[in-house]
Amino acid sequence: MTSAPLDLDTCPLTMERRAGEQPLRHSHILIGIAIAALLPAWFWATVAWMVGRAVGYEPSTLALLTLGSCIALFLAAVCSALFINPEQHYTRS
């Protein structure tokens, strides 16, 4: 089976910009990535600390910081890939 080339004019996944609508600034994108990465990392590090205390073993600060940092870095990588503007990578003919 052969696949048709990607046509951005008919692709249902692309969003057209409304007349007069400004593109997102880089600061807005960075704030969105920071929120999407740091809040879940903080939440899961807090959950790990609470579960550890509940079972009688309190995790060290270094372990919690390592867990939170790994989660935040992973989510930042995933979110930055999702937030990339597709118009920068495809040109319309």
What tens digit of pLDDT does each residue of 7-49 get? 555 555 555 555 566 666 777 778 888 999 999 999 999 999 9
Query: Any idea where the domains of the chain sit in the sequence?
Result: 26-83
Task: Return d(Cα 43, Cα 62) in angstroms, integer.
Answer: 16
Query: Tell me, what's the pLDDT at 11?
Result: 53
- Going by the DSSP 8-state scheme, the letter that residue 83 receives in this structure is H
Which residues are CB-neighbours of 6 under 8 A, at least 6 positions away? 90
- Is 0.75 topped by the overall pTM? no
Confidence check: pLDDT of 61 > 70: yes
- 5 in the Ramachandran plot: left (φ > 0), alpha (ψ -120 to 50) or beta? beta
| Other residues' Cβ atoms within 10 Å of the Cβ of residue 33 | 18
